[in-house]
Amino acid sequence: MSEVYATRRSRLRERCNAAGTAAALISRPANVRYLAGAAPQGAVLLLGGEQDQLVCPVPPEDRPADGRPDESLVLHILSTPGRDPAVAAADLAGSQGSEALAVEEHHLTVARYRALDAVAPKVRLAGLGTAVEQLRLIKDEEEISCLRIGAEIADQALGELLESILVGRTERHLALELERRLVDHGAEGPAFPTSVATGPNSGRAGHRPTDRRVEEGDFLSVCLGAAYRGYRCEIGRTFVIGTSPADWQVELYDLVFAAQRAGREALAPGAACRDVDRAARQVLDSAGHGAALQAATGHGVGLEIDEDPQLAPAAMGKLDACVPVTVEPGVHLPGRGGVRIDDTLVVRPEADGGPELLTITTKELLAL
């Protein structure tokens, strides 16, 4: 495994060298983990100099779920408790004669940046931009297999919940039960706070569970995901409670399902991100639900639950093969509720069978 991380770091170093900066400081935790194999609490990665160094505030815990720091890295444990590892790393870079240091300006606060500047006045701070995030876009098969296992775990947890009695239970309790089941099936934990929305709350993006109880006739929308070896995926489904859904429920469900299918079918290497968004969005638009303020109908997943690319009207760029994304249009009617359907898929060329669906729970409208 060590080679994977060393290769990633040398790709980043090539970019830095091309930009005229021999040293780089990586502070964003997901980026540290991507390049170092682990991101102990507060750790930063210093590239350049004789050997790459992982600067940690305290010795890292040895937990398989956290990954292990790549052994080709020098582990540098701070001797001053409470010191900012980024400041210590800039200090190191200065003392090793670095003239310029590329930093993650989209992650460092203005205050930390000033502290870096003050501790190493001879080192010119440059912008690394989102170079590491760009490397993270296209996943290798090892990464995709972590996402696939995470999706299986989420499918299992959701499947079990559907077999239990739901009426009378609160959103909050259903969310906790789903999270327990994720862990039962081998997740490190939820990939993000589990969303359970009933009745008038259903269909809301990112709804946080309340004490409202499931009632007969409700829509129930659920969004959950598992974290597995650091990788995070997402599944969202909407169900109806009771023996038979109302006409408006069937109509709304069919509409969102059609939008979600259109988005899924638009996924292909070379497709523009905004076109995938439009494919899903225009189905809702043409039915008069366009005013719903959903900024994006999907996004990349990986070491973070929301990463590039964004599937949104103003998104630039095109999809590549081996990029995992969500497709998750939804409609929420204030006071009544709504529908969200959310899958994680990996973009694949048509010759390989087209997009690979990771979250396989049925998307038929189930009456529970």
Enumerate binding residues for a second copy (CB under 8 A). 41, 57-59, 61, 63-66, 81-82, 103, 105-114, 172-173, 176, 179-180, 183, 204, 206-208, 210, 293-296, 310, 312-314
Q: Find the shortest distance in angstroms from Cβ 140 to a second copy.
A: 26
Token pair of 167 as six digits: 């009426």
- Residue with smaller CB distance to a second copy, 112 or 336: 112
- Residue with smaller CB distance to a second copy, 52 or 84: 84
Cα torsion at 316, 253, 182, 168 (round to 10°)?
Answer: 140
- Alpha carbons within 13 angstroms on the beta-carbon side of residue 79 total 0
Token pair of 17 as six digits: 């060298």
Q: Find the shortest distance in angstroms from Cβ 104 to a second copy.
A: 9
Q: Find the shortest distance in angstroms from Cβ 54 to a second copy.
A: 17
CA nearest neighbour of 125 among 89, 99, 163: 99
- Residue with smaller CB distance to a second copy, 87 or 346: 87
- Residue with smaller CB distance to a second copy, 314 or 367: 314
Element containing residue 333 per DSSP (H, E): strand 330-333
Rounded CA-CA distance 167/213 in Å is: 7
Token pair of 21 as six digits: 């900066």
Q: Find the shortest distance in angstroms from Cβ 170 to a second copy.
A: 9
Rounded CA-CA distance 133/302 in Å is: 10
Q: Find the shortest distance in angstroms from Cβ 281 to a second copy.
A: 11
Could you tell me if 205 and 221 are in contact, meaning their C-beta atoms sit under 8 angstroms apart? no
Q: Find the shortest distance in angstroms from Cβ 195 to a second copy.
A: 11
CA nearest neighbour of 53 among 78, 19, 81, 83: 78
Could you tell me if 216 and 184 are in contact, meaning their C-beta atoms sit under 8 angstroms apart? no
- Residue with smaller CB distance to a second copy, 165 or 293: 293
- Residue with smaller CB distance to a second copy, 40 or 355: 40
CA nearest neighbour of 1 among 57, 71, 62: 71
Q: Find the shortest distance in angstroms from Cβ 242 to a second copy.
A: 25
Contacts of 205 (CB under 8 A, 6+ apart): 294, 328, 330, 332, 340
- Residue with smaller CB distance to a second copy, 118 or 360: 118
